[in-house]
Amino acid sequence: MFTPLDGRSVIVTGASLGIGRGIAGVFAKAGANVLLVARDQARLDLTAQELQKDASGRVATVAADVSVPAECQRIAEAAVAEFGGIDVLCANAGIFPSAPLAEMTEQDVDGMFAVNVKGTIFMVQACMSRLQASGHGRVVITSSITGPITGFPGWSHYGASKAAQLGFLRTAAIELAPKGITVNAVLPGNIATEGLADLGAEYRATMEASIPLHRLGTVEDIGNAALFLATDEAGYITGQTIVVDGGQVLPESPEAMAALE
Ligand code: NAP
């Protein structure tokens, strides 16, 4: 049995949709007060209304862009104003527009790194002092299997940004350890988010067939891993990663999956 997170103050970036929404919902159901962050206020409001229905804690919102360091400060201040401090930062906001290497522009790379890497680093920096003050500060970064473990054509810059998050977390974990803050990451595989529906049933079936557990992940699967890393009982884990992918990275070739038939 884990110590309840009732009343803890949790920031989730990229929380209006997809995985961030799932993480926020899991924390809100667990009794935490959750600040949802994204750029579009209207979508944030809708998500907050829906999550509040099943929440035991409070759900609040702030519209902000994590690629701008001053906005990261504003997000941290909003959490303190709403909930009195910051116990957990889930640095989840990320983008993944694809671009083949041959056509990739400087703008493509800068845009990807501004959100995925700068947005992670400056969110952690903005929250550091409050996380230290909480006495059990937790940072949970949403990275990916793409980059740290696997590759996918069109996503070389995305993969680089997701691997960069892990390079950041290993030194951040050392620097923040004396402040009692742990820094860990969740590496999702293929997760069923709103965007997936656009890709069609056939695409989904092909993806499911390549996963040993034969289903896509849910946003709650990622939320549950993040919740574990935020518990008091996970307080001796820092600088680590948890892959949440249904075993997707395990088969050494398509034949390994075919041999299951
Ligand atoms: P998503 O459905 O596209 O949602 C992205 C969220 O981030 C939205 O709430 C979006 O809202 C917000 N956002 C985007 N840019 C932002 C910015 N500059 N500042 C603040 N908020 C911003 O994405 P997702 O699929 O859930 O992915 C979330 C994270 O999981 C990403 O880091 C991604 O790399 C990682 N991931 C996803 C998968 C997957 O299968 N989906 C797999 C591995 C890793 P606004 O547009 O209103 O800002």
Q: How do beta strands 241-244 and 9-13 pair?
A: unpaired
Q: Is the beta carbon of 94 within 6 A of some atom in ligand 1?
A: yes
On whether residue 182 sits in a domain, the answer given is yes
On whether residue 258 sits in a domain, the answer given is no
Q: Is the beta carbon of 195 within 6 A of some atom in ligand 1?
A: yes
| Most ligand 1 atoms within 8 A of CB, residue of 12, 13, 19 to mutate | 19
Tell me, yes or no, if 158 is annotated catalytic.
yes
Q: Is the beta carbon of 14 within 6 A of some atom in ligand 1?
A: yes
Q: Are 36 and 116 in contact (CB under 8 A)?
A: no
114 is in which domain, residue-wise? 9-194+218-246
On whether residue 78 sits in a domain, the answer given is yes
Q: Tokens 């949709």 label which residue? A: 17
On whether residue 252 sits in a domain, the answer given is no
Measured CA to CA, the distance from residue 188 to residue 92 in angstroms comes to 11
Residue nearest to atom 11 of ligand 1 (CA): 38
How many domains are contained in the chain?
1
Tens of pLDDT, residue by residue over 194-239, are: 977 787 888 889 899 999 999 999 999 999 999 999 999 999 999 9
Q: Are 44 and 23 in contact (CB under 8 A)?
A: no
Q: Are 14 and 92 in contact (CB under 8 A)?
A: yes
For residue 19, the surrounding DSSP H or E stretch is helix 18-29
On whether residue 87 sits in a domain, the answer given is yes
Angle of helix 18-29 versus helix 41-54 axis, rounded to 10: 30
Residue 19 alpha carbon to ligand 1 centre in Å: 7
131: domain CATH number? Answer: 3.40.50.720
Q: What is the pTM of this model?
A: 0.98
On whether residue 206 sits in a domain, the answer given is no
Q: Are 10 and 32 in contact (CB under 8 A)?
A: yes
Tens of pLDDT, residue by residue over 115-145, are: 999 999 999 999 999 999 999 999 999 999 9
On whether residue 164 sits in a domain, the answer given is yes
Residue 93 alpha carbon to ligand 1 centre in Å: 5
